[in-house]
Structures are given as C-alpha cells and as structure tokens.
Amino acid sequence: HFHAESVGTCVAEARSLCWMSRRGLDKRQQAALVGLFRVAADGEVAAEKARCLLSETPDFQPNPMFKSLHGRSQQRRWLGATDVYSWLSAQAHSIGIFTIEDVLSLIFPAVNDKGELHYEGFLRLVLPRDPSVAWLKEVVLRRGQRRNAEPAGIPPEASYRLTQLIECEIDVCRHLRFHRKMLNDLVVDVYAVQKFFDEPGASWSMAHHLCPGVSSETIQRVLVDELQALTSAQCAALLRRLSPGNQGVAPMDEIAKLLCGPPPELSSLQQSQRERNGSVSPLHAASFLTVGQASPTA
C-alpha cells in the first residue's frame, strides 16, 4: 500500500514537472495568469447581466445614445475617453470617484490605435455577447432602425442602465489592473502566454513570433480540462471577453490587450485631448487623478 502511494506521488510530481516545463511558467506565474483570466471571466458574467438590463430597456437605442455621448463634439464620428468621462461626470446617479484612466481602460478593447471609439466598437461595449441571448441583440438593433424622430439626449432609464454598465466595467478594469501589475512584476508577457497555450513543439514560440490567435478548444482544454482552474461557464465568459464575435478563436491581440491594458502613449493622448477640450467636470475636478496614477479604490 505504501509503495503504491509512493509511486502515485512520484507520477503526480512527474506530471507536474512536465506540465511546468511544457507551459514555461513557474507556479507563481501560472497562478497569477490564471487569476487574471478568472477575474476577466467573472467580470464578463457581471457585465453581460448589465448589458442585458440595458438592452431590455425599451427606450435604449444605440445610435442616438452614441451621438448623445459626443456632447459638444457632434461633428466627430467617434468617441474618446474624455467624451464618456464628461458625460458620466454629469450624471445625477454618479458612481463616485473615477478617473480618465478608468474610462480609458473600459473602452480600450473596442478603440482603434488612436484611442477612437467608433460606432461598431460602441456596439461591442453595450450589446449582449452571449449567443443564448442573440435574440435580444437583434431586438435592439431592429429598435435602432425605427424611423421615429430620435430622442434628444439619452432617456433617463437608458441613462441609468448605461451608468450601471460603466460602473460594472470600471470595477472589472480596476481588478484587472491589479493582476496586470502582478504579472508584470513576475515578467509574464504575451509570448509567455502564447507558450502557455502552445502544444509541445509548436513553432510560434520558438520563432518568437505571435500566432494569429488561440482556439476556443485549446483554451477550454488548458484552463478547464487540464488545469481545472476555470469552470466551463467561466471559460465561456472569458472567450466572450476575448472574442465578442464568437468566431471560435481568441485573437492574440485581444489576449495582449487583456494582459497589458492601455499603452502609456494612448493614456497620454487622452490626457492631452482632455486638456484641450477642458472636459473635466467641476463635480470631479477636485478628485481627478492624473493618468497613470492608481485609483484610490483599485
């Protein structure tokens, strides 16, 4: 009996060592990376509920809402973090202290390389992503095609639901920021993440090139079946976060965005836009924190 237990322990240890060698991360690095994925997954579940509540609001129409968020910059076809920040600062149902960095973090996955949030990116942020409620997404899009006169401003209920969604996303972004710092301290970069998901002998990591993406089957197998670090439901939520189009592949650039967050130059660009536009609300002027400074509630 003792011999059998010893053999079992040795086999388990050998498998563990093989796994660590195969994945290229030590235990602390792996735990930190899995922690990031788990926060993203749980945050996506909460954000999806908020998106559904917004979409179920009868007077929610995405296009008029997108235009209303422009404020004084109606001639532009895109939103910046400063536009969303200014609108959010003016709401009666304020979410408390927040920063331009918080807002940039939540829109970052949907902006272009100039930090511009176009209408397609806005839809990515506000519409449901779960395939099981695809019907609700279609209802909202059909609602937006009505020929009726567009409302002036954002109706109160839709405004409230949008604020709730933003509050949820800001909370998720703050948690992710904490985990990103930990991964940065442990020197886990996007190449390490790619190797983490690679099959043994894969050529991408050895050539120091990024692959186009990681299949949903691979992510499911590694995180759910092999590591048992996420549940199937959490993994599905993570994939919706990384691949809102549900195309079966998590693009590597989306994984990099999750791992790294907004680059400093994008934050600096938004800061300069804010200064030019004078878009700091008097309500938040005293508590505004400069870009790059940690949130007091992070």
228/230 Cα distance (integer angstroms): 6
Residues 6+ apart with CB under 8 A from 67: 74, 150
How many Å separate Cα 108 from the centre of its chain?
8
> Average pLDDT, stretch 118-142?
96
Band (pLDDT 50/70/90 cuts) for residue 121 is very high
Cα end-to-end distance, the chain, whole Å: 51
Alpha-carbon distances of 216 from 220, 240, 273, rounded to whole Å: 6, 10, 38
Tens-place pLDDT, residues 162-186: 999 999 999 999 999 999 999 999 9
- Domain map (residue ranges) of the chain: 25-144+151-194
Using 50, 70 and 90 to split pLDDT, how confident is the model at 244?
confident
- Compute the average pLDDT of residues 40-53: 98
**pTM reported for the whole predicted model:** 0.81
Sign, CA torsion 58/61/64/70: positive
Q: How many distinct helices (H) and strands (E) make up the chain?
A: 15, 2
Confidence of residue 272 (pLDDT cuts 50, 70, 90): low
